[in-house]
Chain A
Amino acid sequence: MSVLVIAEHEQGALKGSTLNTVAAARALAQEVHLLVVGHNCAEVAQAAAAVVGVRKVLHADAPHFAAQTAENLAAQVLSVARSYTHILAPATAFGKNLTPRIAAVLDVAQVSDIIEVLAPDTFVRPIYAGNAMATVQSADPIKVITVRTTGFDAAASSGGSACVEHLEAVADTGKSSFVGREVARSDRPELTAARVVISGGRGMGSAENFRILEPVADKLNAAMGASRAAVDAGYAPNDWQVGQTGKIVAPQLYVAVGISGAIQHLAGMKDSKVIVAINKDAEAPIFGVADYGLVADLFQAVPELHSALG
């Protein structure tokens, strides 16, 4: 058995999601290879070689990989895919976009969003927004899998010494072209990697009110998140959305402010180590999962919290 992990990287650095995915791969087999596809990404390949548990790094470099389009990346993965029993990628926007193309061409099922490996062909994955856990078995010769990053502790990013092998880049499929990217500029930690997350819900009332969370986030060095209701209402950008259809987070501390706790939101944060809920409605379902609940008007409690944090 051998496992190919597709590396997610950005601006010359390996993303944390790749380390969680390597950990899932190690639960399957000893022979783990990490594939780095990009443009001018030799540094990433070097970083990949240092990840503990990686036996070999495959590196394909070409200008048409710069935009990381699914069409070109899938073609590159398919150039080596048939040598592996498992192909893994993180269940992030990057991995979700890419892996089904690979599975379809290989004519195998994909197992999305696994949180546990029970056997080389048997995995646990949440369904119905995390309201049920399905144990699924794949009979296909190659298993194409996306990994929920919060389900696996990250592999160490240094200490390994894998060899780096150069791969011939596949030709540009020319299927789509990249127009541009608007990256939300933020000095805060990334939502899925942050130690502390503070999220607001519909109770925030407006985009302007949402900003009262910022000083608290600054003090806690927290990433900011939002419920789907808050995103739908236009209070917060979509990439802040925590939940079934947004991001799945599991920080050390999750602070939910003015969030009622819809099932779909809980699906995105209930694996956090410590959950704090601040809501004026004592009956809000969020209190059912919170370690510490404060029934209070958030417009008083949040400034108080800011002062109390000193």
Chain B
Amino acid sequence: MKVLVPVKRVVDYNVKVRVRSDQTGVDIANVKMSMNPFDEIAVEEAVRLKERGVVSEIVAFSAGVQACQETLRTAMALGADRAILVETEVELQPLAVAKLLRALVAREQPALVILGKQAIDDDANQTGQMLAALADLPQATFASRLEVADGNAIVTREVDGGLETLRMQLPAVVTTDLRLNEPRYVTLPNIMKAKKKPLEQLKPADLGVDVTPRLRTLKVSEPPARSAGVKVPDVASLVERLKNDAKVI
């Protein structure tokens, strides 16, 4: 059984982004870029399925600039067997990525596509669901547990107020939540091995997909700042303030 795992190159989780002074976007020149954390969880889950003998091949996918190759090498160092990069300089929005993935799903016929639930740059939380709709596949988003048996995926989802479990016939789309697993660290020998694994390069046109953005960003601005208040010396004065000044208790 084959698994397709899309990964996105994003500004590293620990970087505090700065809005450009001309308000055209955030400054991502010379900042550390990494694999989107939720996608790392997706790769890890695929690798665990392979280690359990459920999965035979893991194909990593990314779309974007040439530098996304690094992200794909990381996915292969984590355990993906090969990688596909759809190279483009165009700003990719979730609908375009979902269309690229639909084309690849048709070509590769994976039993499972595991994606991060959202990317930490645009925070869109759309691609997995869009792919599922376009490829006419069942979906289970925000997964905290995934079991594959007898041609079915049984997925526990993190929903508001608790957990929900769905059973889906494969092929299916799963998006990961934080508690699905803790990704392993990449080891040096595996980084070396990943360099030798195959990485195929395509253009959007090769897949017959128009990736022109649909949304136009008119400006990007700083969020309204919240100023620091006062320090209180003890619990008694805190309660006094909350009662008499803020009047919230």
User: B-contacting residues of A (Cβ < 8 Å)?
Assistant: 69-71, 74, 92-94, 96-105, 107-113, 122, 126-140, 175-184, 190, 192, 196, 220, 228, 231-232, 238-239, 241, 244-245, 247, 252-253, 263, 270, 273-276, 282, 287-296, 301, 304-305, 308-309
Contacts and interface: CB of A to CB of B under 8 A. Distances in A.
Interface of B: 11, 16-17, 19, 26, 38, 93-95, 98, 117-118, 120-134, 137-142, 144, 154, 157-169, 172, 177-179, 214-223, 226, 228-232, 234-236, 238-239, 241-242, 246, 248-249
Given A104-B134, A134-B217, A180-B164, A288 B126 contact: no
A132 B26 contact: yes
Given A100-B98, A100-B125, 15 more contacts: A70-B139, A93-B142, A101-B130, A109-B93, A111-B215, A128-B17, A138-B216, A176-B140, A177-B167, A178-B164, A182-B163, A232-B179, A245-B178, A287-B231, A308-B236
25 contacts: A98-B129, A103-B95, A104-B131, A109-B94, A112-B124, A127-B220, A128-B26, A131-B17, A132-B26, A133-B221, A136-B216, A137-B217, A176-B166, A181-B159, A181-B165, A228-B178, A239-B160, A239-B161, A245-B38, A273-B248, A274-B242, A282-B231, A287-B231, A293-B228, A305-B238
Contact of A126 (B140, B217, B223): B223
Contacts of B169: 175-176
Given A133-B220, A135-B220, A220-B249, A96 B214 contact: no
Contacts of A292: 229-232, 238, 241-242, 246
Given A101-B132, A139-B216, A239-B161, A293 B223 contact: no
Most chain A CB within a 10 A radius of its CB, from B117, B137, B249: B249
B220 A239 contact: no
A301 B239 CA distance: 11
